[in-house]
A and B are shown apart, each in its own frame.
Chain A
């Protein structure tokens, strides 16, 4: 049950693209055709599913405060968490290299169509972001970390698939000239993100949707107390 909940939460509520804007660069650059979008999306799912559990192990047994206790009691005081950026990115870069070799061997056509974007998965924010969110949200077990990785990957896949399909069709519409290409893609993504916000109440029946979207954590102004933000919600509700 826990797994199922985390799985759907990471696909819909905490969607990588629509809730946290991760991996936007490749999302915008590779979404011109559905077929390449599918290839990149699949690669992202795979890399996330492998790197998030790997980084979970690193975090659990090497990096976090007191994680080195398994080496002996004299190591129990070490806190290496400041090294997490560099270790996480090293794991990711290695994995991406591996995926590149495998794809080149087994599917040269996919390799050619992905072109430069395969090495760029290493610098795709969605991959590093997956590991960093795994760390900051304090995911408890290896199984949950794997579920989280796969779920976020599928969420990203869905997002790029949807935008690629829309962009293929929008070619036939009459978009204002200055908005063509990049501009309209931004605005469509914004509208899709508004749509995805409606998933916010899926797991809790709407009670906790304030907490579930990570951007809401960033959003409230610093000194705004809980009461003040409640009041804000009340006033906006009154207006309706």
Chain B
């Protein structure tokens, strides 16, 4: 990584683990949970957020000296909304069924707290290059959790990954199903997303005691 200095690397790598936007900073939970029943939807969502946050952070960072602080929230919302409209139109054009499945949650990237959170906390006070790295890093941290949750929910819920039947056919009883294994349909229901994220937090905080909260 000769391209990036130590400090820049930290910007990208920190949010992946010890400063993760979802499990530590508690940002962007809203959309993270509702669309993780399938791995594919999670990946598309992660990519969309990487795009919006990466570009949005740069734009806000370039404009940081000319935005009056009183109306900055509205300016930020307009920037995000424009980027999200682009994502939405691209999805509608090239992946129509997927965009139907994601329904309103693409639009809800606008109010994804990660995006506003990073604009406020980082892009308003740093140059474009560092802001870009920070945006990519945080969006990756968000994407990693999304993909982990999506992986487990799709694997245990419908026995598939990205639509491929990795565990065999549940109706013809091949593969693992021949041994009497059944899909856990409960994993597809919304409450399990919350519980899976809860378990991820549990694992992460058991490994790193410094993250444990007071009560």
Binding site for B on A (CB under 8 A): 18-25, 28-29, 82-86, 89-90, 93, 119-120, 122-125, 127-129, 132-133, 136, 171, 175-184, 186-187, 189-191, 193-194, 197, 213-224, 228, 231-233, 235-236, 239
Contact = CB atoms under 8 A, between A and B. Distances in A.
Contact of B77 (A84, A89, A215, A228): A89
Given A89-B81, A93-B74, A24 B197 contact: no
Given A123-B77, A187-B194, A24 B212 contact: no
Contacts of A190: 191-195, 198
A182 B20 CA distance: 13
B26 interface: yes
Contacts of B205: 177-179, 183
B190 A193 contact: yes
A218 B41 CA distance: 9
Given A22-B108, A178-B206, 6 more contacts: A25-B27, A178-B204, A182-B23, A182-B213, A189-B194, A213-B190
A186 B197 contact: yes
Interface string B130-160: 0000000000000000000000001000101
Nearest to A193: B191
Nearest to B29: A24
Interface string B106-134: 01101111001000000000000000000
Contacts of B40: 222
A60 to B, nearest CB: 18
Given A124-B111, A218-B103, A24 B88 contact: no
Contact of A133 (B30, B89, B104, B203): B104
* 7 A-B pairs with least C-beta separation: A181-B213, A178-B205, A190-B194, A186-B198, A193-B191, A24-B29, A125-B30
A233 B163 CA distance: 19
A120 B101 CA distance: 28
Contacts, number: 190
6 contacts: A22-B30, A85-B81, A132-B104, A178-B203, A178-B206, A182-B201
A217 B103 contact: yes
A215 B31 CA distance: 12
Nearest to B82: A86
Contacts of A220: 188
A82 B209 CA distance: 47
A222 B97 contact: yes
A223 B102 CA distance: 15
A57 B202 CA distance: 46
B101 A218 contact: yes
B1 to A, nearest CB: 31
Interface in B180-197: 182-183, 185, 188-195, 197
A119 B103 contact: no
A125 B182 CA distance: 36
A180 B198 contact: no
Contacts of B112: 125
B158 A215 contact: no
Nearest to A214: B103
Given A19-B190, A132-B107, A236-B185, A86 B31 contact: no
Given A177-B212, A221-B163, A25 B29 contact: yes
A193 B107 contact: no
Contacts of B201: 178-179, 182-183, 186
Q: Which residue, of B84, B170, B198, has the highest number of chain A Cβ atoms within 10 A?
A: B198
